[in-house]
Structure 1
Amino acid sequence: MVVRLELDVSRDPLRVLESTQPIVEQARLVRIDQQQVQRAAALIEGLPAPTADWDRMLHPISDDPAKLANLVLVVDALNFCFWSLPGSDRPRWQVTYQGTTYDGYAALAVALRRAVEGGYPLWDGDLLGTITEAEVTELLAGDSGSEAIPLLHARMTHLREVGVALVERWDGSFLHAIRAARGSAPRLVAEVLRALPSFRDTAPWGQREARFYKRAQILVADVFGAFAGQGLGAFHDLDTLTAFADYKVPQVLRQFGVLSYEPDLAGKIARCELIPPDSDEELEIRASTVWAVELLRQELSRRGRPTPSYAIDWALWQAGQSLPANTDPYHRTLTVYY
């Protein structure tokens, strides 16, 4: 089925939709099923409206807004790649905190919370700017017998980059960047992209550049959640954010029938083979994810339930936490962007 993509440029200030539209329209490996978009919209319509939430029992927190802003930034500087490489016979990286064992993103959140509660000042730009790989290893130590967190050296590099930006650009706190954005989500995304190269989630596609900005966009959404959408967390244009193209959301969209993969790609994913970063396979999966959520947004709006893309993304991600055991696996791309 040919997908008709309608773009409202006023809703796309970061040009994520514009830059990914031709990838979807010319896709050979991934398809969006418009009829299944309508069916999935009906399912989402029946779910409780997702809320912006920064789980204060899970994440590192502070009553000091300047420290809290920095902690949110640190979390999303590290918010990528929590799965084990194929062939491992050990559990993927996991962290036990207060008697409960977590993996994935939740393990990152509690590992950082554990560090803050233990007296480690993760909000301190001077400390982050000189952090060592040994210190990052200790911060993100997993349970005995589980895999180490992947891409550890990159995580150290990201934390150092954050530390330098905090000290040299933001006078010690990300709070200053948030205030300077004056309530504009894309303006804050743009500032993050200028200051932190590790958030510049783009890829070449022919003579063009595809933009995704997954971690930069989710950082702004997390600021919204951490400050409960009030004061520093109030953004008047948060609804211009797109889906946060990762590996869990396309898995859920595929389970719903919204996305389908051609047989060779489906086989690679079933065998947990690595999909190279910036490959046609990866770009079509990510671009189709962004546009599938945009089509869901359009369909929900037609149904009288306007729902922004970030909220649809959250609903799909939450649904992905309770998929049946026999669900097709997610694609695996070793990358720092998601």
Structure 2
Amino acid sequence: MASSTLSRNITTILNSRNDPLRVLATTADVIKRAQYVSIDLKRVQTVAQVLSLRPVPVPSWNFEHHFFDGTEKTVTYIFLLDALNFSFWGEPKWRVNHIKENVDGYWALSASLKRAAEKDKHFLDADFLATISPEELARVLKGNVEIPLFVERWRNAQELGRVLRDHFGGSAANLVERAGADAPSLARLVAENISSFNDTTLYKNRPVNLFKRAQIIVGDLWGSFGGEKWGEFKNLEDLTAFADYKLPQILRAWGILNYAPALARRVDAKKTLAKDSAEEIEIRASMLWAVELLRHALAQHGRELTSVQMDWFLWSSSQRNVKGMKPYHRVRTIYY
């Protein structure tokens, strides 16, 4: 259960922050009733003080591993990328060769889709995606082993193509434009129209909104287009961080997140947690609120960052060897 001080801090942030997707409100309820995960406010303040004394670099968009031509095709590429952007962990890790180097995880996915888009001008057409065969997608994602949850990724690719073809004139750009350049509206529109992005769950019979991949589409469009054209959004600050499995890992290494002993043993032993279990939901909700609290603490030191920028910084940091880094939690799911 959350301490009274933590509850007050959460209430303060909720009262000062727009939350149109109700991600913060619904996850705050999880924090207040959590049994397996806790947030250390003293560590939040300590880490914020340390970060305030040095640069907090927000990574720029990586054009080497992403497709970009500045047209509507790039918009569809981002949608497809994030439709398939989940659950990369496994032994051995799925890897592909890209420009004479082996890359894994997200970078392997982005590079594989980039290569396909550059090789076949019809690859990003909604009609093609709507009917893409398992064999065609397998060739695109060919690596040292089969990518985890391949069948689910194939279904997501087809669903994306069908939705764009049947409801948005075959164009992801049309979907983006329908949101009126409003960041939360686009995330909501994506989640409402494409079921694989509708990242919600129940915690003790109460609804919880997470919307990891629906929100990350907005962030990726903003990053790839440099805040212009289909990447120009108002209210970007109303998005939250993206609840995945890498950010909890680094926040735990920094002492901000703490797991109950039994959960810590399972995570550290790389045991798979059940999807939609209380443990999984508490980890994701606590990660979101840890980022919010850290962002708020940094602002008190004069360092203003959006949750999206904080997410990018933390995710980039998690890719390096961090002292005290333990395994990330494992859940087989299409949502992250």
| C-alpha distance in structure 2 between counterparts of 1:24 and 1:129, whole Å | 40
> Which residue of 1 is the match for residue 44 of structure 2?
37
Q: In 2, are the aligned partners of 1:52 and 1:228 still within 8 Å (CA)?
A: no
> In the alignment, which of 194, 212, 218 is matched to residue 196 of structure 1?
194
> Which residue of 2 is the match for residue 184 of structure 1?
182
Q: Please list, as runs of the form range in 1=range in 2, the aligned pairs for 1:189-228 lying within 5 A after superposition.
A: 189-228=187-226
> In the alignment, which of 241, 244, 249 is matched to residue 243 of structure 1?
241
Q: Please list, as runs of the form range in 1=range in 2, the aligned pairs for 1:163-312 lying within 5 A after superposition.
A: 163-312=161-310
| C-alpha distance in structure 2 between counterparts of 1:41 and 1:10, whole Å | 19
TM-score (norm 2): 0.94
Aligned-residue RMSD, C-alpha: 1.6
| C-alpha distance in structure 1 between counterparts of 2:254 and 2:142, whole Å | 36
Q: Which AA in structure 2 matches 1:218?
A: I
TM-score (norm 1): 0.93
**% same residue:** 39
Q: Call closer, same or farther: CA 1:281–1:225 in 2, change over 3 Å.
A: same
Unaligned runs of 5+ in 1: none
Q: In 1, are the aligned partners of 2:250 and 2:325 still within 8 Å (CA)?
A: no
> Which residue of 2 is the match for residue 107 of structure 1?
108
Q: In 1, are the aligned partners of 2:87 and 2:333 still within 8 Å (CA)?
A: yes
| C-alpha distance in structure 2 between counterparts of 1:45 and 1:326, whole Å | 21
| C-alpha distance in structure 2 between counterparts of 1:306 and 1:326, whole Å | 27
> In the alignment, which of 53, 66, 75 is matched to residue 81 of structure 2?
75
| C-alpha distance in structure 2 between counterparts of 1:201 and 1:38, whole Å | 30
| C-alpha distance in structure 2 between counterparts of 1:230 and 1:120, whole Å | 24
Q: In 1, are the aligned partners of 2:59 and 2:313 still within 8 Å (CA)?
A: no
> Which residue of 1 is the match for residue 143 of structure 2?
142
Q: Which AA in structure 2 matches 1:66?
A: E
> In the alignment, which of 61, 67, 72 is matched to residue 54 of structure 1?
61
Deviation at 1:205, TM superposition (A): 1.3
Deviation at 1:190, TM superposition (A): 1.1
Q: Which AA in structure 2 matches 1:182?
A: G
Deviation at 1:47, TM superposition (A): 4.7
Could you list the structure 1 runs, at least 4 aligned residues long, displaced by more than 3 angstroms after superposition: 46-53
> Which residue of 2 is the match for residue 15 of structure 1?
22
Deviation at 1:53, TM superposition (A): 3.3
SS in 1 for 2:164: helix
Q: Which AA in structure 2 matches 1:161?
A: E
Counting matched residue pairs gives: 329
| C-alpha distance in structure 2 between counterparts of 1:289 and 1:326, whole Å | 17
Unaligned runs of 5+ in 2: none
